[in-house]
Amino acid sequence: DFTELGAGNIGGMTLRPGLYKWSSAVTIPTDVTLSGSDKDVWIFQIAQTLGISSGKQVILRGGAKAKNIFWQVAGKTTLGTTSKFNGNILGQTAIVVQTGARLNGRALAQTAVTLDANSVK
């Protein structure tokens, strides 16, 4: 549905359900909101890396559920310290969840998932 949205910077956006694709890295330097119902699905296909800045969040609105959000990442995924991330991360390489970051979903990587004093539910 959406290709190269925000040139990879999705901070500050409100995203509706759908398929999002990037050939570049994706960054979340400010909060991003996913707005939809409890039956809606978001799929994010990222050809490079994914990173959310420290203290920032992926916010769910309108009944959106973390179990219906899929982040397919070819490169490294980094969740900054004390960030709050929603969704299932399917990583081809490393997933690093830095100190105090919270993940509501799953972290599945082909190489390694690194946790440091985190909450995963």
Half-sphere exposure of 29 (CA within 13 A, CB side): 4
Task: State the Cα angle at 27 between 18 and 103, rounded to 5°.
Answer: 75
Give residue-wise pLDDT tens across range 41-64: 999 999 999 999 999 999 999 999
pTM recorded for the entire structure: 0.94
Give residue-wise pLDDT tens across range 76-112: 999 999 999 999 999 999 999 999 999 999 999 998 8
Q: Which two tokens mark 80? A: 């900054």
